[in-house]
């Protein structure tokens, strides 16, 4: 039988590359070589990588078209902010609470709305995003429309490792029988059900897990940004995350990471010319749809399999 | 094994199935035939929980299964194939089979996320079982190919393999020979018999290819306009005037 273990060459190499990436950037930050703007961009990249990867779990892997992801991000951002500011809780707890409350919201919303298909689900989740925004706008405890002062409680190291952990969790979930169950829902719901997959359960599970990580990403965001306000989490933010996922390729985890990276860097790079920014982004999307309609990666993943010996398949 | 009593299903004013009675014993190989639109697939959809019956009941191994969701029916031990192939077209062959094994998976989501030993054990076991099953259907060489790229006959075989992966007691085959040439149909006939004996299954199949139905089924139910008009062994059915009428029309006087 094939050797199946967590300690294979591919995993060791991936870990090595991740540590090198972290060490290089951390080194640049500590020695003040990297300007603060770059650090801030890097943390935004982390936030959007988590958001895109978690939306990909819902839209790409499970095939449920949700466009209200900023709503879960908002829940996470506000709740994490509350823990940090009002209760002076540790950062870990702040992120965890943000994620859990977002997950609970995802579960409650997911149960009824995931009965809807296609366009109807999209409209329902769009509405959800708006409702969340309006709720935060009208509750004084959360600062109302003026927003909430949070302060800065997170640094690059935290943001980076939380992102890595999130990605590992999502990757491990997707590459298991439970992930395959989600994929079967996307591929053919009737056949999935006939093969014994409880489709409702897996739709809700993917939605809840996606909402959890959107909440965690929101937590990183609010703990870094000093200040959050409801309009930050409007439809455009949801749309932005969706664009990242589609750009990278629906169903591809590495595609989502790539999409988040490109879009975030592009947004920051073009922030000097706001009028052209939207035009360039839109053009990019049109070109994309013309030449690679399934996204940069399609449903494929970038991996290090080519480094393995022939015949050795990696599962972990 | 399966006992269908006074089953009816109406879609609005249309009675697709009315007062249907079917009784299948352990290990039998039963055919369900009838002209187009007779309601054969509706019967399958009623058994597997896709539709809820308007009247009547379905007992499977002495337990009521009508009203259950399709996946619950599958968990009870009934698996099916589809008339119009419904594979997970963009997934590879082995993943198609593994998804049907999902209900027997021995590790939880948490085990998968934390990559606990149960995950590696469970995955290895699934891989092994799936490959064994593919071997039976001579598809093991194509395990990593995308399902939609298989030739038609192999897609049909893969659908049966996938249904077997759910480890059913009763297998429902909806036109397994559709689109197959005579040679393939003949092989399929052998295969169906072999599956029944090897996996100790009961099989109910819908088919239009009479050579297959007459060659392989021990008992046949004939359905027309939603009711059973005849039942019995292949020879009885062949000579039954009602059946001939349903298929060929009444003799002109």
Q: Nearest residue on chain B to A298, judged by CA atoms? A: B90
Q: B128 to chain A: which residues are within 8 Å by CB? A: 1
Q: Is some CB atom of chain A closer than 8 A to the CB atom of B123?
A: yes
Whether B138 contacts chain A with CB within 8 A: no
**Strand pairing partners for B10?**
B15
Please state the pTM of the whole predicted model: 0.90
* CB nearest to A196's CB, from B71, B86, B112: B71
Categorize the per-residue pLDDT at B252 as very low, low, confident or very high, splitting at 50, 70 and 90.
low
Domain membership of residue B133 (yes or no) is yes
- Say if residues A105 and A214 touch (Cβ distance below 8 Å): no
State residue A177's pLDDT score. Answer: 95
Instruction: With CA atoms as reference, report the closest residue to A222 among A110, A85, A101.
Output: A85
pLDDT of residue A315: 39
B162 touches chain A (CB under 8 A): yes
Domain holding B106, by residue range, is 89-154
Question: Residue A232: which residues within 8 A CB-CB, separation 6 or more?
Answer: A74, A77
Residue B186 falls inside a structural domain? no
Helix (H) or strand (E) holding A23: helix A9-30
Q: Give every CB contact of residue A188 below 8 A, 6+ residues apart in sequence.
A: B86, B87, B88, B89
* Structural domains counted in chain B: 1
Do the domain assignments include residue B104?
yes
Two tokens at A162? 């939380």
Contact A176 B48 (CB under 8 A): no
**CATH class of this structure's domain A9-307:** mainly alpha
Q: Residue B107 domain-assigned?
A: yes
Mean pLDDT rounded to a whole number for chain B? 91
Q: For residue A194, count other CB atoms closer than 10 A to its CB.
A: 28
Q: How far does A292 lie from chain B, in Å, by closest CA?
A: 18
Predicted confidence at residue A36, as pLDDT, reads 84
Residue B91 has its nearest CB partner, among A183, A190, A199, at A183
Residue A141's nearest CA partner among A220, A8, A230 is A230
Cα separations in angstroms, B49 against B42, B70, B76: 10, 5, 12
Nearest to A195 among B69, B74, B119 (CB): B74
Nearest chain B CA: its distance from A6 CA (Å): 8
pLDDT over 90 at B172, yes or no: yes
Please report, for residues A154, A185, B70, the alpha-carbon distance to residue B157 in angstroms, rounded to integers and kept in the order given.
Answer: 56, 22, 22
Instruction: Please answer whether residues A166 and A160 qualify as being in contact, where contact means their C-beta atoms are separated by less than 8 angstroms.
Output: no
Q: Does the beta-carbon distance from B124 to A2 stay under 8 Å?
A: yes
Chain A, nearest residue to B47 by Cα: A194
Quote the minimal CA–CA distance from A47 to chain B in Å: 21
Q: Which helix (H) or strand (E) holds A228?
A: strand A226-228
Per-residue pLDDT tens digits of chain A, which is 316 residues long: 444 566 677 888 889 999 999 999 999 988 888 888 888 999 999 999 999 999 999 999 999 999 999 999 999 999 999 999 999 989 999 999 999 999 999 999 999 988 887 788 889 999 999 999 999 999 989 988 888 988 888 999 999 999 999 999 999 999 999 999 999 999 999 999 999 999 999 999 999 999 999 999 999 999 999 899 999 999 989 999 999 999 999 989 999 999 999 999 988 888 888 888 888 888 888 888 888 888 888 878 877 666 554 444 443 3
Q: Are strands B55-60 and B63-64 parallel, antiparallel or unpaired?
A: antiparallel
């Amino acid at each position: 039988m094939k050797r199946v273990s967590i300690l294979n060459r591919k995993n060791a190499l991936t870990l090595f590359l991740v540590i090198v990436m972290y060490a290089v950037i951390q080194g640049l930050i500590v020695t003040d070589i990297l300007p603060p703007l770059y650090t801030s961009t890097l943390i935004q990249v982390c936030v959007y990588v988590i958001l895109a990867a978690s939306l990909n779990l819902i839209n790409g892997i499970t095939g449920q078209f949700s466009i209200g992801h900023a709503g879960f991000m908002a829940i996470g951002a506000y709740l994490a902010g509350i823990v940090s500011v009002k209760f002076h809780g540790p950062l870990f707890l702040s992120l965890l609470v943000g994620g859990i409350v977002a997950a609970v919201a995802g579960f409650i919303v997911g149960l009824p709305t995931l009965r809807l298909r296609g366009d109807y689900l999209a409209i329902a989740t769009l509405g959800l995003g708006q409702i969340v925004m309006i709720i935060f706008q009208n509750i004084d405890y959360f600062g109302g429309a003026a927003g909430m002062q949070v302060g800065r409680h997170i640094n690059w190291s935290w943001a980076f490792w939380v992102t890595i952990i999130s990605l590992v969790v999502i990757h491990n979930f997707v590459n298991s029988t439970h992930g395959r169950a989600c994929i079967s829902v996307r591929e053919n719901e009737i056949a999935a059900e006939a093969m014994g997959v409880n489709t409702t359960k897996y739709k809700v599970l993917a939605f809840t897990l996606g909402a959890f990580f959107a909440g965690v990403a929101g937590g990183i965001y609010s703990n870094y940004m000093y200040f959050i306000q409801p309009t930050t989490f409007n439809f455009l933010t949801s749309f932005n995350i969706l664009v990242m996922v589609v750009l990278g390729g629906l169903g591809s985890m590495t595609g989502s990471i790539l999409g988040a990276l490109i879009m975030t860097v592009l947004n920051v790079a073009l922030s000097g010319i706001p009028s052209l920014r939207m035009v360039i982004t839109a053009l990019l999307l049109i070109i994309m749809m013309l030449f690679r309609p399934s996204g940069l990666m399609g449903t494929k993943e970038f991996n290090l399999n080519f480094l393995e010996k022939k015949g050795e398949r990696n599962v972990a | 094994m399966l006992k269908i009593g006074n089953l009816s299903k109406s879609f609005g004013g249309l009675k697709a199935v009315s007062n249907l009675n079917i009784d299948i014993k352990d290990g039998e190989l039963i055919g369900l035939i009838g002209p187009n639109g007779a309601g054969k697939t509706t019967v399958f959809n009623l058994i597997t929980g896709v539709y809820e019956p308007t009247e009547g009941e379905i007992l499977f191994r002495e337990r009521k299964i009508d009203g259950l969701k399709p996946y619950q029916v599958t968990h009870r031990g009934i698996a099916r194939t589809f008339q119009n192939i419904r594979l997970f077209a963009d997934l590879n062959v082995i993943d198609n089979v593994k998804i049907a094994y999902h209900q027997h998976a021995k590790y939880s989501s948490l085990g998968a996320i934390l990559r606990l030993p149960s995950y590696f054990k469970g995955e290895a076991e699934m891989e092994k079982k799936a490959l064994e099953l593919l071997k039976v259907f001579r598809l093991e060489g194509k395990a990593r190919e995308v399902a939609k790229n298989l030739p038609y006959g192999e897609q049909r075989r893969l659908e049966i393999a996938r249904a077997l992966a759910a480890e059913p007691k009763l297998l429902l085959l909806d036109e397994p020979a559709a689109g197959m040439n005579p040679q393939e149909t003949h092989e399929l006939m052998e295969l169906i018999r072999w599956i029944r004996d090897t996996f100790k299954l009961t099989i109910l199949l819908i088919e239009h290819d009479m050579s297959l139905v007459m060659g392989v089924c021990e008992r046949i139910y004939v359905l027309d306009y939603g009711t059973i008009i005849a039942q019995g062994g292949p020879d009885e059915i062949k000579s039954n005037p009602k059946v001939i009428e349903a298929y060929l029309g009444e003799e002109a006087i």
